[in-house]
Amino acid sequence: MPDAEVTAHGKVLVVGMDGLRHDRLTRSPATAPVLHGLMTRGAHGTSLLPYGRAEDGPSADAAYTDSGPGWSSVLTGVWPDRHGVTGNDFLGSDYTRYPDFLSRAATARPGLRTAAVVSWPELVDRGVLGAAIGRRVRHDGESDGYTTADRLVADTAVRWLTEDDPDALFVYFGATDEAGHATGPLSPAYDEALLAQDAHLGRLLATIDARPAHEHWTVLVTTDHGHLDSGGHGGDTRAEREVFVILAEPGAPGGTRLDTPRLIDIAPTVLDRLGIPADPAWELQGRVLARPTAPTSEWS
């Protein structure tokens, strides 16, 4: 039987879509109808990653436009000057001092059911998603291809949401980034990858809608960096540095703009929605994104 205290605080789904350029997402509802539905019914906004060069080492003004530092910032709620990651080699990481939000939640409230499923295996293999998480599954987009691995990620998450009772779930899709590297974000292949990820998200939201009506789910969608028109990232252009956050939950006013939401705001927002107050000793650098107030019900 679910823990009464846990149920009262609500549940959270965070979906990461790697290398998703905001302007490619927003140019037409047809590109990603489910994501457009979330933006219409919820809140969203963008910000620019503070830029630094990995060879200069971590600094308070640098976030780096690569996936290692990007997802580390999303999951820990701190910038590279604290979590230590400046590249995809993950050298210098300090996930012991700055663990991911699922690990913090599981440690703060042992009764919480936490889970993560990803198609970029590094997020598990390198310890970004820690061992304190109740369930961690890595599908391998590097060896199997991200189209296949992302589908397996969605299948796994849907199964958990159908058969089990997760309180906090992180889901990662990587096909947009892979397509961006291969043919650039202006290509048909990138559009196809985005549409596929959008459909995966639609399955997750439909499964949540089928769960008990008394549950209060907060859904957050974000990315780690953008892409150059020609494909690739790691530099300081706006196309690489612009990131977005979409926030949707029952009570959200339609089309609300979030005020420059940053990657580091995801972790404190998740903890807030789970009813876990941030401990000053955690040294989180992000802020809690405001809770919407106007009525809404459908996800897509």
| Confidence at residue 94, expressed as pLDDT on a 0 to 100 scale | 98
Residue with tokens 């058969």: 163
Residue 90 has pLDDT above 90, yes or no: yes
Q: What is the pLDDT of residue 4?
A: 40
* pLDDT, tens digit (0-9, with 9 covering 90-100), for 240-262: 999 999 999 987 677 889 999 99
Judge whether residue 57 has pLDDT over 90: no
Does 115 score more than 80 pLDDT?
yes
What average pLDDT does the segment 280-300 reach? 75
At residue 183, does pLDDT exceed 80?
yes
Q: Is residue 296 included in any domain, yes or no?
A: no
Residue 288 lies in a domain: no
Q: Is residue 297 part of a domain?
A: no
- Of 298 and 89, more confident: 89
Given this model, what pLDDT does residue 265 score? 98
Find, among 144, 97, 141, the residue nearest to 123 by Cα: 141
Inside any domain, residue 291? no
Q: How many domains does the chain have?
A: 1
Which CATH number belongs to the domain containing residue 231 in this structure? 3.40.720.10
User: What's residue 152's pLDDT?
Assistant: 98
Predicted confidence band at 291 (pLDDT cuts at 50, 70, 90)? confident
pLDDT(50) > 90: no
Q: 167 is written with which tokens?
A: 């309180």
What are the backbone dihedrals phi and psi of residue 48, each rounded to the nearest 5 degrees, phi first?
-110, 130
Q: Does residue 106 form part of some domain?
A: yes
In a domain, 298, yes or no: no
Is 287 inside any structural domain? no
Domain that holds residue 215: 4-282
If you average pLDDT over every residue of the chain, what do you get? 91
CB of 222 within 8 A of CB of 14? yes
Structural domain contains residue 12 = yes
